Amino acid sequence: MALQLGDIAPDFEADTTEGHIHFHDWIGDSWAVLFSHPKNFTPICTTELGYTAKLKPEFDKRNVKVLGLSVDQLASHEQWANDIKETQGHALNFPLIADPDRKVANLYGMIHPNASDTLTVRSVFIIGPDKKIKLTLTYPASTGRNFDEVLRVIDSLQLTSKHQVATPVNWKSGEDVIIVPSVSDEDAKKKFPNGWTAPRPYLRIVPQPQG
């Protein structure tokens, strides 16, 4: 059965470019992004890993650890890392799992037989400090992912986990948010004493809460 939102992310041990890890221990009190790559030395994966390395400071600011996965051997990862640095201008600065036996890929349903029997699709899992899955995305091998969107979703997840708000279409950090329907107007007055704008009773718009 496919992993669903709210499920505990399966734990595992694996060898990576930064040593052996025990996944849940490695996450610790942080958030995590686990994402798979169909194969080493492929063009789209090379651009994705380079761009993610560029974004590493942004992930760090949000207390997010990034972990890649490919079904190739660890020695191959190390050779590929040189290509990533030379062609993308950013060296690999986060661990990349070597999963040649496809243990982790199968645990997370990253192999879709109708797409390929052996290679992973472009899966993304965002996992909270509680080790629960907060978001899943699946792209075909031919389409590179938008990691700016991954950061945007993390901003939303972290904000909405602290405050009783939801984020509207195309929201970006700093923009107005919506009070969730489960909060009554009476309770909303306590939480948002400066009031809100309500073009409809169920659509209560407030500035993004701070902190």
Q: Please state, as a whole number, how many other Cβ atoms lie within 10 Å of the Cβ of residue 153.
A: 18
Distance, CA of 62 to CA of 74 (rounded, Å): 28
Quote the CA–CA distance of 172 and 155 in Å, as a whole number. Answer: 8
Q: What residues are labeled active site?
A: 45
| Helix locations, the chain, DSSP H | 23-27, 43-61, 74-88, 103-107, 147-162, 185-191
Tell me the sheet residues that pair with 162: none
